[in-house]
Structure 1
Amino acid sequence: MYRYDEFDAQIVKERVAQFRGQVERRLSGELLEDEFKPLRLQNGVYLQLHAYMLRVAIPYGQLSARQMRMLARIAREYDRNYGHFTTRQNIQFNWVALKDIPDVLALLAEVEMHAIQTSGNCIRNTTSDHYAGAARDEIMDPRPWCEIIRQWSTFHPEFAFLPRKFKIAVTGAAHDRAAIRVHDIGLHMRERDGVRGFEVHVGGGQGRTPHIAALVNDFVPEDRLLDYLEAIMRVYNLHGRRDNKYKARIKILVNELGEEEFTRQVEAEFAAQRSHEKIDLPQAEIDRIHAYFAPPELATKPETSDVFEAAKASDKVFARWARTNLHPHVTPGYTSVTVSLKPIGGLAGDATDAQMEIIANLAETYGQDDIRVSHAQNIILAHVALDDLPALHAELDAAGLATPNESLITDLIVCPGLDYCNLANARSIPVGQAVQKVFADPDYQEDIGRLHINISGCINACGHHHVGHIGILGVDRKGEEFYQITFGGRADEKAAIGDIAGPGLKSEDVPGALKRVVDRYRELRSGKDELFIDTLGRLGHDPFKEALYAAD
């Protein structure tokens, strides 16, 4: 993973000192909240329902054990003993006192972390495939280019005050696990005639007006990527709405101009760049950054492991976990492990300080000191030997981190909702917990197969409900919470926005209604290999709407 140079370290250190002074002025009353707001947002500090919230950047979702231990320390000493991992591959601390935030930022700086540009109308944390550099189906490792984009975009003077927040995602695998088509810019790495480059999608997003991104260029060579991104950003900065924040995202601009006209303007801007305006990134610098992401030196092992196979044969609990929470690794004898942060009845994405310490220890012992955060709010140990899986599972199980549900129906994406967020209309967490309990039986979950349920507490869609196979949106109707159900969303290479099924349901009716839908799917599927999303596509939505609103 990338390591700060002396310039990175100095910038972050100076930023901490600057913000410390701003906090002191706010606490003394010299700055009013309205005056302080733009300053705190530049440093990842939000004002939530009950307290300030600090959002910490985890670039492309990658952490070392040392960094995870620091997050555990912050949770223990400055929060309420936990942190919340988000769909942007970041972590949020919900209860840090404002007076302590400069001290927290100083601690983060010690381990090459910060909260810069995790909020505000700027380019946010660039996200990626959580299996990057390890996945068997990967074409190229996207992380070096995520890092190059991070360096290019941080403090970019032209793009510091955009019409609205801006999100970029990059993937290098055939199967899109980074949801690039619902980002402002989504980049899919390709290779053409021996030249590496990017398929560029622009204008995706969720929220109030969800859109799937338009393909504006099917191949931009990697040495021209930053120039092309500059062209996109300039068109957006010039024409993006600033008079109405609900119409300010680039997805609105692409939709209003039309894909063809937007693409024409980007190409014209790109062609108009003069030689001195182009970003001539030296090959030595590209090579330097790529070197940070060289694969770990893994011991040579056979494709299969006798230890692993014996454990599966003798331990049904371990065997179930191995079926669900492992992902094929590019190196024979290794796998990537999903550490589930979705225990039944728990809070999706939350990890205690003790659990973070354990994950750090396990990453050093079994995982090449490489920890990832997935946009589904789980943790990944990217490089684990098959021989080590029984011992790893035993330690995860003891820590409550071995729930065997990756991508199953209880692996819900859930936003904090009205329990924390002052933008929310309804609670998300209790609904998610109630849905989990209905489907808690592990045999039932495995029979259902891969099925993504995503829950948001408001139209801002932080829970990605639009792209859940089943989406749940909390709405407020005259002071009463209702939950709107959508069918057919997906965030992969076949990205689609879910369709609203019909009238909203009361919170107590949601779990039973979803059980009827799922059981109808089990009746109608062509076989156990046909997933819910595929049955839905084959038969249409009517059978599932009927089940949703049927009487018990």
Structure 2
Amino acid sequence: MYQYTDFDRQFIRLRAEQFRDQLERWQAGKLTEEQFRPLRLQNGWYVQRYAPMLRVAVPYGELSSTQLRVLARVAREYDQPEPALLAEAQATQEKLGDIPLADGRRIGTQLKYGYGHFTTRTNVQYNWIPLSKAADVMDLLATVQLHGIQTSGNCIRNINSDALAGIAADEIADPRPFCEILRQWSTLHPEFSFLPRKFKISINGAREDRAALGWYDVGLQLVKNDAGELGFKVRVGGGMGRTPTISPVLREFLPWNQLMNYLEAVIRVYNRYGRRDNSWKARIKILVKAEGQAYVDQVEEEFRQIVEVEGGPHTITQAEYDRVAANFREPALDLSPANAEAETLALLRTAAEEDKDFGRWLTRNVLPHRHPQLRAVMLSFKRLGYAPGDATAEQMEAAAELADRFSGGEARVTHEQNLLLPWVRRDQLPALYQAAKALGLAKPNIGLLTDMIACPGGDFCSLANARSLPIAEAITERYQDLDELWDLGEIDLHISGCINSCGHHHSGHIGILGVDKDGKEWYQITLGGADGSDLSGPATPGKIIGPSFSAAEVPGVIEALLNTYRTERQPLADDAQGPRYENFIDTVRRVGLEPFKAAANAARRPAETETA
């Protein structure tokens, strides 16, 4: 992983000192709330429904075990609600009530604290840290080069990439050096600090798009041209929210050394013409869609000016690339000799035959690696009783211990709100499985229905129209049978509490969106969304299948949709694990929405029918 330089460490420490001074001046009344607000946002501090929320940046998802332990310490020592705020939150939860299930039980959300939350953009959030302790937290984070810069505000946000970056078997080139170059370039860049709206960049270096490029303001795919030269396919203008948009391609091939010059042109034109009078129409996707070719022409002319007139001031030299790339260091691993490979394979095969769940874990949670003797392993943070992506202080410490024992001290936050161990020796997989299983982190559900994405929703977020977490819990509780999950196969279920789409519902094979109807919680269901991966196919927004459903109806509607899939799916060739069927998303595309829409409407409860 990236090794921070002395300059990096000094910069982050000074930033923490600066924030402490700003906080103290606000506490003393020397800064108004209006003056302090942008300063705290620039450091990742929001004020949410009940309490402050801190978003910690995890550039391209990489965390050391040392950083994980500090994140755990923040959860344990600082993520503790003030009594009055907790009482207010609990009273509100009681007023909202629990969600009734079909069997007569009710399910709600227990307001937990002392934990961190892994987000879809590979950051870590805390929901209960008092602002009075904010400077202490930033000082602590700075000791391990963590901070909240570029996690909020109308700036270039934390750069995203594939969780398998640098280790993927299908990798064209490692995207992480480019992520880091862009991070260093964009951090506190004065021209990009007050954009019309937030700006998100994702970079993918593999043949498969595992970075959801089409959904980003800028999506960068590393490619090689016919001459074998490295460059980028550049997409601009994707996004979710009220107007889900898949970004068009502006450049099929941009030489890698021109990346920053070209992005400077893209963002300058956006800064110049982007809407500032309406926050709902301020994202670059609106400008690109409205202007079309005129926007592309403006970017190309700006790029020409930057290169020919200004002399290409941000051209990436080979020396600069080499300097940054050299700071991505692989852990020193004691690899087994090559002649032990056959024995290792035989042991894994025998263990999988003796333990069905271990065999399933090998299939779902263990991923290929560019090094034949290594594997990448997913720790599932989708467990009954926990919100998707939530990790207690104890669980983060335990994950840090697993990273030390099995992965060279490194873990990665994934887009799907799990943790990845990227450097696991294949012969250590049985031991890792047993250790992770003891912690409740070895459920073989990666890519299956219960490996869902969900935002914190109305339980914590002041922007949300409805709660996400009780819906996620009800669905997770219903589908605990691994045999049933495996029979259903790969399904992306994404849940957002509002149209801001932090749960990426638009890209879910099944999407659930919380909406407000006369002060009550309702939910729209979408089908057929895709993130752009090989399984899902080209990035596509899902389509709404009808009027909204009440919270009580949603679990039954999901069950009806899945039963329809079972009825409509086509069989494929059998294999050693039994019969196989076409995936859910393929069935939806083949038969269309009507059978699913009919099933969903049939699952409505008459007393709950929406009249709005």
Structure 1 segments, 4+ long, off by >6 Å, are none
Task: Show the counterpart of 2:246.
Answer: 212
Q: Give TM-score scaled by structure 1 length.
A: 0.97
Measured in 2, the distance between the counterparts of 1:143 and 1:285 equals 14
Q: Partner of 1:368: helix, strand, or coil?
A: coil
Query: Greater CA deviation, 538-547 or 229-238?
Result: 538-547
Aligned pairs (5 A) from 1:86-485? 86-192=119-225, 193-258=227-292, 260-273=293-306, 274-296=309-331, 298=333, 299=335, 300-301=337-338, 302=341, 305-485=345-525
Q: Choose the corresponding residue for 2:590, options 529, 538, 541.
A: 538
Measured in 1, the distance between the counterparts of 2:62 and 2:253 equals 27
The answer (yes or no) to whether the contact 2:3–2:328 under 8 Å persists in 1 is no
Query: Greater CA deviation, 456-465 or 316-325?
Result: 316-325
The answer (yes or no) to whether the contact 1:474–1:483 under 8 Å persists in 2 is yes
Measured in 2, the distance between the counterparts of 1:324 and 1:10 equals 41
Unmatched 5+ residue regions in structure 2? 80-112, 572-579, 605-612
Measured in 2, the distance between the counterparts of 1:551 and 1:250 equals 39
Task: Show the counterpart of 1:548.
Answer: 600
Q: Choose the corresponding residue for 2:544, options 486, 497, 500.
A: 500
> Offset of 1:4 from its aligned partner?
2.2
Measured in 2, the distance between the counterparts of 1:89 and 1:206 equals 17
Which whole-Å deviations, capped at 9, do the CAs of 1:112-146 have from their partners, x for residues lacking one?
Answer: 11111110000000000001111112111111111
Q: Partner of 2:552: helix, strand, or coil?
A: helix
Measured in 1, the distance between the counterparts of 2:317 and 2:250 equals 26
Measured in 2, the distance between the counterparts of 1:230 and 1:175 equals 27
The answer (yes or no) to whether the contact 1:345–1:434 under 8 Å persists in 2 is no
Measured in 2, the distance between the counterparts of 1:391 and 1:10 equals 39
Q: Partner of 2:223: helix, strand, or coil?
A: strand
The answer (yes or no) to whether the contact 2:259–2:315 under 8 Å persists in 1 is no
Matched-pair identity in %: 52
Aligned pairs (5 A) from 1:60-75? 60-75=60-75
Query: Greater CA deviation, 249-258 or 136-145?
Result: 136-145
Measured in 2, the distance between the counterparts of 1:308 and 1:486 equals 40
Q: Partner of 2:420: helix, strand, or coil?
A: strand
Measured in 2, the distance between the counterparts of 1:345 and 1:495 equals 32
> Offset of 1:295 from its aligned partner?
4.3
Measured in 2, the distance between the counterparts of 1:318 and 1:392 equals 11
Task: Show the counterpart of 2:6.
Answer: 6
The answer (yes or no) to whether the contact 2:72–2:393 under 8 Å persists in 1 is yes
> Offset of 1:297 from its aligned partner?
5.1
Query: Greater CA deviation, 430-439 or 24-33?
Result: 24-33
Query: Greater CA deviation, 483-492 or 99-108?
Result: 99-108
The answer (yes or no) to whether the contact 2:560–2:603 under 8 Å persists in 1 is no
In structure 2, give the amino acid aligned to 1:282: T
The answer (yes or no) to whether the contact 2:521–2:551 under 8 Å persists in 1 is yes
> Offset of 1:307 from its aligned partner?
2.8
The answer (yes or no) to whether the contact 1:3–1:112 under 8 Å persists in 2 is no
Q: Partner of 2:167: helix, strand, or coil?
A: coil
Aligned pairs (5 A) from 1:1-80? 1-79=1-79, 80=113
Query: Greater CA deviation, 331-340 or 373-382?
Result: 331-340
Q: Partner of 1:454: helix, strand, or coil?
A: strand
Which whole-Å deviations, capped at 9, do the CAs of 1:434-456 have from their partners, x for residues lacking one?
Answer: 11122221111101111001000
In structure 1, give the amino acid aligned to 2:28: S
Measured in 2, the distance between the counterparts of 1:551 and 1:56 equals 41
Measured in 2, the distance between the counterparts of 1:175 and 1:452 equals 17
Q: Partner of 2:249: helix, strand, or coil?
A: strand
Q: Partner of 1:281: helix, strand, or coil?
A: coil
Q: Partner of 1:276: helix, strand, or coil?
A: coil
Aligned pairs (5 A) from 1:503-518? 503-518=547-562
Distance change (3 Å), C-alpha of 1:24 and 1:463: same
RMSD: 1.4
Query: Greater CA deviation, 488-497 or 83-92?
Result: 488-497
Q: Give TM-score scaled by structure 2 length.
A: 0.88
Aligned length: 551
Unmatched 5+ residue regions in structure 1? none
In structure 1, give the amino acid aligned to 2:318: Q
Q: Partner of 2:397: helix, strand, or coil?
A: helix
Measured in 2, the distance between the counterparts of 1:533 and 1:392 equals 32
